[in-house]
Amino acid sequence: MGVYRSDQAQLTFAAEAAQGGDPEMIEGTLVGSGGTATVDHATGLAAGSRAVTITRASGTFTIGDFIRIGTVDGTPADTVNEHEVRRIEAMSDSNGAASANTFTLDRPTAFFHADNEAVLEVNAIGGDATRNDNDKFLTFIPGIYETFDTPDPEMSVEGRRFLSTTSKRNVSVFYPGQQSLSGGVSGIVLLNGWPLRFPIGSITTTPSAVATDTILLNQAAGAKKGDVYITCDGANVGNLAAGDHIQIIEADGTNSEVRRIITDISDTFKLNYPLQFDHANNAVINEVSAGAYYTHVINEEVDLDTVTWHVHMKDSTETTGTTLTTKNFDRRYVGGMIGSSTLSAEEGGMLAMSWDSVNFLNMIHNQANQTTVGAASGDDYYGASIAANMPRYGLMQQIDVDDVGMPSHNAASANNGTGYPSTSPYYFSEGTIKFFGVEFARIRSFSLSIANGEEPRYYIGKQGARARGPFEIREGAREYSMSASVVLPDANKQAGAIISANGLDSDSSTPDDSLTSANSGQDSATELFKQLLLEGDYGAGGGSVYRRGFTASLKFERGTNDSITIDIPPADSGGVGSPTEGTDNTNQINKQGIFINSAPHSITGDNPFQVDLDMVFRSLRITIVDSVPVYP
């Protein structure tokens, strides 16, 4: 008899184009004589839409029906429109009035849909099996993990007491209240930089070498974030073919990203993963040269991209069968915002990351029915048959072991299971850390924390049946902190270079000569104690006030063109350590570096002498160099 085991569980994820829109294209099996319609939105249905208005063509739709939004023509070998499956949770307009032509969906849409795209009733995952398998995007793994907290709904069932002589001090009745969905993954050993950007912002990817072709995006309205298909033109567009990696970048050099071409459909190209950015018409398309490596830069953003998690479990006998008879236990969590996160390493160990707190909007699952439930009622169970009566039941593909990794599917075959990263972890021994511009070789451990102050918001508004989770999750104030255990440098090592790295001339990016000469000969072993007392204030220099803090750089290098570097603050932020910082030293707003909160020089049994630093700072940037072309 099979049992569910933790070692038969699998967590994969992907980014969302809009909060709550899990990206996946499945075709579905059309219902005979089922409802048919088209999208009725003059300017199109945006990704993240919670409702769709339709123009009916034939048949009827009912609460509880599954619908495919997006045209699938099947000719040629692939479609040229994004499509997705959602469930009808209610039929009413934005004012709550009953409407047979406006459907509230079980979760927001993942893709943009043009006016007049098809809306068709489906009842199972069907259609072209190869296309379905090639349209799985929830395939990234965060790294090596052993446990994780699933964000299953936490119900707030509340007792209410009626004034009644029969209650006798007991609760009279229980009512379900607010729901929350929160999870986390701890101790992720990084194999690449896939999970790094989500608590910080966006990522741009630049290949080291591209072909000198003339190819441009050819879409009057541009390409939208979340698009899987792009249309191109230009003198060399014929050079592009399935299997090529391409760089999509704006004419001004911004928003660079890399994708793999899956199919060429008359100069409309299907990509292996949805776009992260909007791209204007005539954005540049570059073919990536063979043997290129990639530089991925993570920059802070005000609005964070959200993620979908997919949890796939098999029983120990790995029972197979149809959707309703298989023993697979699948859950999908949508709209996840990485609220707090930690990046850490300690001597002898590996670079690790934790997604400490992740709040979600909703979930779907593959547990279609509960046999003890009686005849379905429209309000509670969608008016669905007994075979699909469970709240939050949804049609979704399994993300099995052969799907895991960077989406690398092609039109000819499904993923073959080679997607798991084959790289080694980043080891502590491969890392360096610089404080005050000087490398400290005796760092024993560090922990860098990011907190986004996120808050789930519950608004009055139409949601799905029994769905009382958050309507949205919003970012709050962002805070960074870092702690490190450092063995103090040799007592006879001079600190002149350390001090000079803190002060810059008022008219250049070179070290302030007065600070350097005044402090040369200082012992670096006592420098941390002095920096604690100075509080980042280095006095007048060149007629300017120098309350600036200091810089740090953490680098983990596995080999040539293979590293992760964290710069605090970013070198071009106009602040401390910046080449342009000397032009405006009096205005310290948004320009400061790291400040020490505590550095107790306690007398312990540690020899050589060790100090535990606790620091705060306002900004960072992460740069990853590797051979991985596509980042989520």
Dihedral (CA of 161, 165, 167, 173) sign: negative
Nearest to 454 by CA among 96, 192, 198, 106: 198
Q: Where are the alpha helices (DSSP H) in 501-596?
A: 513-519, 527-534
Tell me the per-residue pLDDT of 258-299, one tens digit each, with 9 for 90 and over: 999 988 999 999 999 999 999 999 999 999 999 999 999 999
State the average pLDDT for the chain: 83
Residue 476 reports pLDDT greater than 60:
yes
Q: What is the CATH number of domain 429-626?
A: 2.30.110
| All structural domains of the chain with their residue ranges | 25-134, 209-292, 429-626
Could you read off the pLDDT of 413-449 as tens digits, one per residue?
A: 444 445 677 888 998 877 777 776 677 667 889 999 9
Q: Give the CATH class of 25-134.
A: mainly beta
374-428: pLDDT as tens digits: 555 555 555 554 467 788 889 999 888 888 888 765 544 444 445 677 888 998 8
Residue 251 pLDDT exceeds 70: yes
Lowest-confidence region among 22-31, 97-106, 522-531: 522-531
Place of tokens 């972890």: 425
**What percentage of residues in the chain have a pLDDT greater than 90?**
48
Entry pTM: 0.89
Q: Which residue has the tokens 């004034």?
A: 163
At residue 8, does pLDDT exceed 90?
no
- Those residues whose C-beta lies under 8 Å from the C-beta of residue 422, and which sit 6 or more positions away, are none
Instruction: Place 496 in a pLDDT band, splitting at 50, 70 and 90.
Output: very low
* Residues 543-574 pLDDT 10s: 445 577 888 888 898 989 999 999 988 877 65
Q: What is the CATH number of domain 209-292?
A: 2.40.33
Q: What is the mean pLDDT of residues 591-602?
A: 89
Spell out the alpha helix ranges (H) of 116-218.
Answer: 129-134
The rounded Cα 42 to chain-centroid distance in angstroms is 31
